[in-house]
Amino acid sequence: MAKDVLKAFASLKLTVVLLVLSMLLIFAGTLAQVESGVWTVVDQYFRSAIVRVDFQIFVPRSIARIPGAIILPGGALIGAMLFVNLVAAHVSRFKYRLKNAGIIVVHLGILLLIVGEFVTGIAAREGRMTILEGESSNYAEDIRSCELAVIDQSDSQDDFVVVVPQRLLSHDSATISNGLLPFEVRVDQWMGNSRIERVSQPDASMSTAFAQMFRAIPLPPANGVDGGTVDVPSAYITLIDSGHELGRYLVSVHVNQPQQVRVNGRRYLIQLRFARDYKPYRIELIDFRHDKFVGTETPRNFSSQIRLIDPERGVDRETIIKMNHPLRYAGETLYQASYKPDNSGTVLQVVRNPGWLIPYISCTMVAVGMLFHFGRRLSSRGVSRS
């Protein structure tokens, strides 16, 4: 029976089906970016087990409305199956001889590439660190997801922060209850992307002046073709303490200031914000330079002169991060990603990817394997002709 299973997984038909499905998935995933953001598509199509592909993505809405959808295996499932398929083929079918060495190395490289993508998908973290000149920061923000932070400032020096991730918030009527939270959070309305506008008549049903004077309007998700925009979520939430409603609040990533909530005389701050990843080090921006070619507006150089402070490792040094010259520190890479519009500050992309080296190794293996395989065949043909 085990032999049958192995043979089934080693099937060349399965390989062909998986490759066809891969192409279909890439095609659908590309078209899906017309209406969805790049990272939404990456998560939904390429890093999921199953994906629901609406027929509408194949036809612009302006031409026709197409109902219905098809369920396809997602990129993660296809990748896993390809991995198993290739391993099973080697176990059951391949013969390990010198003349097959090139093919084996090529296949090992491909297997490593698949593993590398899994490692990246699971372990890689990316965020943006925005710092003004003369200021410093010790966290990166993930602009692809947000979190509701409940902050207790009763300690004189430290903030105790309880974080509710977006995946728990992004359902209308969801109620989040957790021992770490000083109250329950009921999501009355979740807006994955939104704008804020001022109301002409204050809404007395809301619990803070901000919520009374402003309202959030849902927007369609930022898509992959309009360039540079990100989803800015907002939500109407109700806070509940022991069955008693404390009030209704509007929280939004648009708003940089937290709002106050009092529970049993204790003061908390609540804020919907991009998910933060705190670092053991701090980056201080000494100077940001945006040089242009003389007499033109064409950028010549972006660079950030920074001070890196890591008390745990006893590091306190200055360095410069510029285009194509990232700073690698503590397993993370800090790239010069963007800057504040008035050049008053910098935006650094902070990337932690334990699998960053794997694609280089796997591509090298594939190249070496192919060279060996085809080189050997060419040389053997030359020998037979002579």
Residues 182-221 touching other proteins, rule: CB under 8 A, are 196, 198, 208-210, 213-214
Cβ-defined contacts of 50-57 (< 8 Å, 24+): 50/74, 50/77, 51/25, 53/28, 57/28, 57/31, 57/32
A 10 A CB-CB count for 4 gives 8
Note whether 368 binds other proteins by CB under 8 A.
Answer: no
Stretch that binds other proteins, among 3-11, 59-67, 218-226, 288-296 (CB under 8 A): 3-11
DSSP 295-364: TS--EEEEEEEEEEEETTTTEEEEEEEETTBPEEETTEEEEEEEE-TTSSEEEEEEEE-TTTTHHHHHHH
Q: How far is the CB of 123 from other proteins (least distance, A)?
A: 11
Q: How far is the CB of 339 from other proteins (least distance, A)?
A: 10
Q: How far is the CB of 101 from other proteins (least distance, A)?
A: 28
Q: Phi/psi at 96 (nearest 5 deg)? A: -90, 90
Question: Which member of 63, 98, 157, 264 binds other proteins (CB under 8 A)?
Answer: 157
Question: Which member of 19, 26, 50, 357 binds other proteins (CB under 8 A)?
Answer: 50
- Binders of other proteins among residues 107 to 136 (CB under 8 A) are 128, 130-136
CB 310 within 8 A of CB 280: yes
Q: How far is the CB of 31 from other proteins (least distance, A)?
A: 20
Note whether 247 binds other proteins by CB under 8 A.
Answer: no
Nearer to other proteins, 136 or 319 (CB): 136
Stretch that binds other proteins, among 61-69, 77-85, 93-101, 289-297 (CB under 8 A): 77-85
Q: Phi/psi at 250 (nearest 5 deg)? A: -105, 120
Question: Which member of 19, 23, 26, 49 binds other proteins (CB under 8 A)?
Answer: 49
Question: Which member of 25, 31, 57, 76 binds other proteins (CB under 8 A)?
Answer: 76
Nearer to other proteins, 159 or 203 (CB): 159
Note whether 11 binds other proteins by CB under 8 A.
Answer: yes
User: In sequence order, what are the residues at sequence separation of 6 or more whose Cβ sits closer than 8 angstroms to the Cβ of residue 310?
Assistant: 280, 281, 282, 316, 329, 330
Note whether 291 binds other proteins by CB under 8 A.
Answer: no
CA nearest 278: which of 129, 110, 56?
129
